[in-house]
Amino acid sequence: MLDLWYSEKLSEGAKFSMLVDEHIYSEETPFQKIDFFNTKTFGKFFTLDGLIMLTEKDEFIYHEMITAVPMAVNPNIKKVLIIGGGDGGTAREILRYNTIEKVDMVEIDERVVRLCQKYLPSTACKLDNDDRLKLYFEDGLAFVRDAKEGSYDLILVDSTDPIGPGEGLFTHEFYKNCYRVLSEDGILINQHESPYYDEYRREMKRSHSKIKNNFPIAKVYQFHMPTYASGHWLFGFASKKYDPVADLKADEWNCFGIKTKYYNTDLHIGAFALPNYVKEELESV
Tell me which of 35, 58, 109, 158 is the catalytic residue: 158
Q: Alpha-carbon distance 270 to 273, whole Å? A: 5
Active site residue 158: yes
Is the Cα dihedral 47, 52, 58, 59 positive or negative?
Answer: negative
* Closest distance of CB 281 from its own copies, Å: 11
Backbone φ and ψ of 207, nearest 5°: -65, -45
Establish whether 222 is an annotated binding residue.
Answer: no
Is residue 277 near its own copies by the rule CB under 8 A?
A: yes
Is residue 232 near its own copies by the rule CB under 8 A?
A: yes
CB nearer to its own copies: give 17 or 284.
Answer: 17
Of the residues 222, 236, 239, 253, which one makes contact with its own copies according to CB under 8 A: 222
Determine if residue 68 is left, alpha or beta; phi over 0 gives left, psi from -120 to 50 gives alpha, anything else beta: alpha
- Binding to its own copies (CB under 8 A): which residues in 152-191? none
Of the residues 58, 104, 153, 193, which one makes contact with its own copies according to CB under 8 A: 58
Is residue 148 near its own copies by the rule CB under 8 A?
A: no
Is residue 54 near its own copies by the rule CB under 8 A?
A: no
Backbone φ and ψ of 71, nearest 5°: -65, -30
CB nearer to its own copies: give 61 or 133.
Answer: 61
CA 190 to chain centroid, in Å, comes to 6
Establish whether 35 is an annotated binding residue.
Answer: no
Total residues in contact with its own copies, by rule CB under 8 A: 41
Strand-pair category, 44-48 with 33-38: antiparallel
Applying CB under 8 A, which residues contact its own copies?
A: 5, 7, 11-19, 39-42, 58, 61, 196-197, 222, 224, 226, 230-232, 260-264, 266-267, 269-277
